[in-house]
Amino acid sequence: MKFIVKVRLKKGILDPQGKTVNQALHHLGYPQIQDVRIGKFIEVEIEESDPQKARRILEEASQRLLANPVIEDYDIQPEESEP
Amino acid sequence: MKFIVKVRLKKGILDPQGKTVNQALHHLGYPQIQDVRIGKFIEVEIEESDPQKARRILEEASQRLLANPVIEDYDIQPEESEP
């Protein structure tokens, strides 16, 4: 099964990387762009036929390695739900 | 309007960061995880009421700054389509 884990900074946490990209876009001539926030998404192929078990494994892996739960939120979705 | 730009390595391009995460997950005790690929997603708030124009701006910004079109694919979606 394939899952996507999306990791993004929690609301209210400053995103200096996003701010820098935002400024760079202004310099390149896109003043319409108001705000940029950058997250990551992790495509995981997992050998586990039970979707609930697979999700539990990924939940644990996200807590332990993929995300920093202090400042980041994560969201786990089977890839089918992505267009 | 809010858009999400997803940037990921093209198929066939090696992803050393994903490989490292994959190995780390094995060491942490998740042998079920077969493959990991890491991309980024960029949430952009844009002041432009015409969705087609907004998309054109983001298309250009992706080509010029957000993605490296030589090795990365990108995909632009209005945020409404994300759950």
Q: How far is B40 from chain A (nearest CA, A)?
A: 4
Q: List all residues 6 or more positions away from B74 whose beta carbon is below 8 Å from its beta carbon.
A: B5, B6, B7, B8, B62, B66, B67
For the record, the structure tokens of A73 come out as 């939120």
CB–CB of B46 and A34 under 8 A? Answer: yes
CB–CB of A41 and B41 under 8 A? Answer: yes
Residues B15, A80: Cα–Cα separation, whole Å: 22
For the record, the structure tokens of A62 come out as 């996200």
Contact B81, B30 (CB under 8 A): no
pLDDT tens by residue, A58-79 = 999 999 999 999 999 999 999 8
Q: So where are chain A's domains?
A: 2-81
What is the average pLDDT across B54-71?
96
Q: List all residues 6 or more positions away from B82 whose beta carbon is below 8 Å from its beta carbon.
A: B4
The per-residue pLDDT for A82 is: 46
The per-residue pLDDT for B81 is: 52
Among chain A, residues having any CB pair with chain B shorter than 8 Å are 6, 8, 18, 21, 24-25, 28, 30, 32-48, 54, 57, 60-61, 64-66, 77, 81, 83
pLDDT tens by residue, A27-44 = 999 999 999 999 999 999
Q: How far is A71 from chain B (nearest CA, A)?
A: 17
pLDDT tens by residue, B2-47 = 999 999 999 999 999 999 999 999 999 999 999 999 999 999 999 9
Q: pLDDT category, A80, cuts 50, 70, 90?
A: confident
Element at B39 (helix H, strand E): strand B33-46
As a CATH number, domain A2-81 is 3.30.1280.10
Chain A residues with CB-CB distance to B35 below 8 A: 43-45
CB–CB of A33 and B57 under 8 A? Answer: yes
| pLDDT score of A83 more than 60 | no
Phi, psi (rounded to 5 degrees) for B28: -80, -5
